[in-house]
Amino acid sequence: MHPIFYRTVQIDGLSIFYREAGAANASVLLLLHGLPSSSRMFAPLFARLAGSYRLIAPDYPGFGHSSWPDPKKFAYTFDHIAEIMTRFTEALNLRRYTLYMQDYGGPVGFRVILEHPDRAEALIIQDAVAHNEGLGENWKTRRAFWADRGAYESALRTNLLSLATTRTRHAGNDPNQERYDPDLWTDEYNFLNQPGQADIQSDLFYDYRTNVEAYPRWQAWMRENHPRLLVIWGKYESSFDPGEPERYRKDVPTAEVQIVDGGHFALDTAADEIATLVQDFLRNSHRAAAGHNPLIRSDHRTQHHERPRAEEDRA
């Protein structure tokens, strides 16, 4: 059992908290979290993969145990967070890594990748969107907020930050609700109700519209470069459109797409299955990377693997 270390590093005057486990000389798996979570969401992978990889999971500014600067003095934008995450990797001297992106980790991670594509060995996308069509029905209020923030601020906060929405992000429409620990969403809801959090999350979500504007650039980059890509999707995902995984395959025909027995935060219930998928994918990616550009596949053959589902387990 490899111990988990809970550390901080100073970036631009901010204290950035991160979790780290695994051998210092092992291949790096950099994990970028979603909303309204933190690096804590990756605890199930730390428990299962630290014996094989060096896992590093930071909290963004305004999240978890990192600094929460006043939004009047700090720009909560995805560009800014991606810039800080890039500096975070440089502060830790992470020259090569596989990037695991969930939810908000997608727009943060794609910005990091396009800025420094030579640093990433492979990509793992779990329930994160890179196509406008991937935003589901519950985004109508959110799109209205982008068009007229003043008129829809209150509605957006209810739609995005309420206890009901926080619960649904985890359990979705899974018929077996007894699998989900209610601490998952009550802890996150408590976080969202800390002083200043509503303003922080509202500012950052207002900037989400810039992700939609950037989708065509991310898609073009994927189509041109054919990165080694694993897409993991919870079959009870309720935040995003269920057709989104196959849209990635249109951009990257060699992508491996796996639907697992979980929701938006699929690690809640499918940690064993996801850990096995990640291990198999990374093993194959490291073989393919020998002698080639670190992020570009050595062939363009379709590789879609079906596997029997492992017994799901929560960490």
**Catalytic (active-site) positions:** 264
| Complete DSSP assignment for 222-270 | HHHH-B-EEEEEETT--SB-TTHHHHHHHH-TT-EEEEESS-TTGGGT-
- Where are the alpha helices (H) located in the chain, listed in sequence order? 43-49, 78-91, 105-115, 140-147, 149-161, 163-171, 183-192, 197-206, 209-225, 244-251, 271-289
**Cα(48)–Cα(275) distance, integer angstroms:** 7
**Cα(241)–Cα(170) distance, integer angstroms:** 16
Tokens standing for residue 119: 């640093």
Q: Which residues pair with 58 in a beta bridge?
A: 18
Smallest CA-to-CA distance from 185 within 209, 160, 167 is with: 167
Tokens standing for residue 100: 């695991």
